[in-house]
Amino acid sequence: MATLIKAGYGVSEMELFTRADIVNQVPELASYITDPRIVERVRTCIGDDVRFVQQSDFHANYVAHEWHRDSANREFGIGCDWREDHEPYRVAKAMMYLEAKDIAFAIIPCSHRLNIPETSDWREIATYDVLPSGNVLDVPLYEDGNIRPVLVEGTPGDLLIFDIRLLHGGRIFGASHEFLQGALEHPKSQMAIVYGANNEHSRRFHSYTRFVRQDMGYADLPDHYLEILNSKDLLLDGMTENIFDRAPSLGEGILGLPSQ
Ligand SMILES: O=C(O)CCC(=O)C(=O)O
């Protein structure tokens, strides 16, 4: 699939290429959005009322090294993403590697629940616990009570599903996986699709993606695709509306919206 997409867009093996909004911009991948192999696994993580919230992308040879969150409210504790008394958050990214060699996904466990500081140097491999690819359920993590960043080794076909408020980033292993490095030596490509429960948190994230982040270039989903989503029970209620027009206060703490 990676080879096909790169060839179709005239992208060479190691060239940087990123496209957001899969339905509108990389339709070759759109069928994965409703693919039960992905959707069922997302359901297991966030609940039965899973909906597609439009944010989705294909990245070739791109590595987001810096620690970051994908949620609309990026700073811990500030804004509606962190208020769950009414509804739990339940917005998650499903990311699948299409090409990956010596690649890992770095994540700071519990950083969606606790204000855990980022490590100052993402290159420092000694600051991580490593989850090798394969069955990792028995790998002991932070048994001493200290939460440490985790490196999840990734290979093609691996699907990672994570709450988008978690601090994370991409990593490249150096020789024998003994250090981390900044540059890719092998092609890397991945697809990411964001889903959420049929709730206000998901509607806020959709409006943030579609209407606030003009830089990401999202457009309306075509009517025929809304029908597909509806037929698969993946259509988010109120998906055509900009929630911040109706309720500007929901934009608290979101970069790019006037502070309330
Ligand atoms: O693999 C990477 O570069 C990290 C990807 C990432 O941060 C993301 O998709 O949000």
Domain positions in the chain are 2-251
Task: Say whether 195 sits in a helix, a strand or coil.
Answer: strand
For ligand 1, is residue 100 a contact (CB within 6 Å)? no
Q: What one-character DSSP code corresponds to residue 186? A: S
Give the torsion through C-alpha atoms of 71, 72, 75, 78, to 10 deg.
Answer: -120
CA of 33 to the centre of ligand 1 (A): 18
Q: Is 192 in the pocket of ligand 1 (CB under 6 A)?
A: yes
pLDDT in tens, 39-58: 999 999 999 999 999 999 99
Locate all alpha helices (DSSP H) within the chain, ordered by sequence. Answer: 2-8, 22-25, 36-46, 200-207, 223-231, 243-246
Handedness of CA 251, 74, 170, 182 (dihedral sign): positive
Would the CB of 79 count as within 6 Å of ligand 1?
no
Testing ligand 1's pocket by substitution, the residue of 105, 155, 213 carrying the most ligand atoms inside 8 A of its CB is 105
Contact 30, 24 (CB under 8 A): no
**Would you place residue 29 in the very low, low, confident or very high pLDDT band (cuts 50, 70, 90)?**
very high
Pocket test for ligand 1, best of 93, 111, 166, 168 (most atoms within 8 A of CB): 168
Banded pLDDT at 259 (limits 50, 70, 90): low
**Residue 104 Cα to ligand 1 middle (Å):** 10
Task: Encode pLDDT of 72-95 as tens digits.
Answer: 999 999 999 999 999 999 999 999
Cβ(26) – ligand 1 distance below 6 Å = no
> What's residue 153's pLDDT?
93
- Is residue 196 in contact with ligand 1, taking CB distance under 6 Å? no
Q: How far is the CA of 64 from the centre of ligand 1 (A)?
A: 5
CA of 231 to the centre of ligand 1 (A): 30
Q: What is the pLDDT of residue 141?
A: 78
- Any atom of ligand 1 within 6 Å of the Cβ of 95: yes
pLDDT at 196: 98
How does pLDDT run across 185-229, given as a tens digit for each residue? 999 999 999 999 999 999 999 999 999 999 999 999 999 999 999
Is the pLDDT reported for residue 255 higher than 90? no
Cα 215–Cα 221–Cα 222 angle in degrees, nearest 5: 135
Q: What is the CATH number of domain 2-251?
A: 2.60.120
Q: What percent of the chain has pLDDT over 90?
A: 89
User: Cβ atoms within 10 A of the Cβ of 11, count?
Assistant: 17
Measured from the CB, is residue 42 less than 6 Å from ligand 1? Answer: no
For residue 173, the model assigns a pLDDT of 97
Give the distance (Å) from ligand 1 centre to CA of residue 192.
Answer: 9
Question: What is the per-residue pLDDT across 122-181, written as a single tens digit (0 to 9) for each?
Answer: 999 999 998 877 767 777 777 788 899 999 999 999 999 999 999 999 999 999 999 999
- Mean pLDDT value across the chain: 95
- 70 C-alpha to ligand 1 centroid (Å): 9
In this predicted structure, what is the pLDDT of residue 200?
96
Is the Cβ atom of 60 under 6 angstroms away from ligand 1?
no
From the list 170, 167, 162, the residue with the least C-alpha distance to 189 is: 170
Q: What is the pTM of this model?
A: 0.96
Q: Residue 239: which of 214, 258, 216, 218 has the closest Cα?
A: 218
Q: For residue 56, give the H/E element and its range.
A: strand 50-60
Return the ligand 1 atom nearest residue 57 CA.
9
